[in-house]
Amino acid sequence: MSTQVPETQEAEPEAEEQAPSKGDQRRAERRRKAAAREQERQEEAAERAKEAEDTVELKVFRYDPEVPEKEKPRFDSFHVPFEKGMTVLDALMYARDTYDSSLTFRHSCRQAICGSDALFVNGRQRLGCKTQLSDLDEPVRVEPLPHQEVVKDLVVDMEHFYDQMEAVEPYFQTNELPDGELDEQRQTRENREKIKMSTRCIWCGACMSSCNIAAGDNQYLGPAAINKAYRFAMDEREGEDIKQQRLEIIEQEHGVWRCQTQFSCTEVCPKDIPLTEHIQELKREAVKNNLKFW
């Protein structure tokens, strides 16, 4: 039996801590000063909010799955100085810039065109940039769009909505092009008037969020996608074979026949598109498309 004792390894000397370089020290000092200025700015803004003659209380939904102490959904209150013409988006931006820079929401054009700031405000789907604070009761409760997965705070995952929109092939397709290279593909005034409202869709997702059918049927195309199909199917310039293809898409089991005519989509549409009316008209087209005469 061996009595050899395993050789003990000499402990390696600990590496000496290197003193921070002058460059690191300068950068750390700049960060410290920037943080101090930001803190001072926030304190001044908060003080101005207290002194303002008129303020609005926002109760904003908060959730961040990447931060342990913020994984549980909650509501934070912010008091924002009120000014005439102020929108919900203006108030959210003030709260973010003044009180909490981690407050997260989508916005872009601020002119009700991009559709990125659709929110659930006081129990209704609205565009933040279009909704006046003066039209709302306090406290103004701001939440992410219902029936969609929340990514962080007021931001929801829009991937499924975009997939449904793409399913109806939302682009113009025709069989005939003008002879001349610079000739226009003309459309009658009557036909343009017919589809005019359907072209206003800004892909905000408010209608889809308000639809109880879409909430219970993940395969339902939804009012926005069906409206987009209407916009092209009813355009006289599109090819007949493509129109037939569109009708086959929207008359499937999870297409127009799932609509129960609740008008919720029409009520919340920020562009006043008669979505329910368009869905009903496509139902009639689908019926006519399947009629056979002998």
Q: Are 258 and 220 in contact (CB under 8 A)?
A: yes
Question: pTM for this one?
Answer: 0.80
Q: What is the pLDDT of residue 120?
A: 98
Query: Can you tell me the distance from the alpha carbon of 171 to that of 231, in angstroms, rounded to the nearest whole number?
Result: 9
Q: What is the pLDDT of residue 51?
A: 66
Domains belonging to the chain, first-starting first, are: 43-155 (3.10.20.30), 159-174+188-290 (1.10.1060.10)
Q: Are 228 and 165 in contact (CB under 8 A)?
A: yes
pLDDT tens digits, the chain, 294 residues: what are they? 333 434 444 545 555 567 778 788 888 888 888 778 777 766 776 666 666 678 999 999 999 999 988 899 999 999 999 999 999 999 999 999 999 999 999 999 999 999 999 999 999 999 999 999 999 999 999 999 999 999 999 999 999 999 999 999 998 888 777 777 778 888 999 999 999 999 999 999 999 999 999 999 999 999 999 999 999 999 999 888 888 888 999 999 999 999 999 999 999 999 999 999 999 999 999 898 777 555
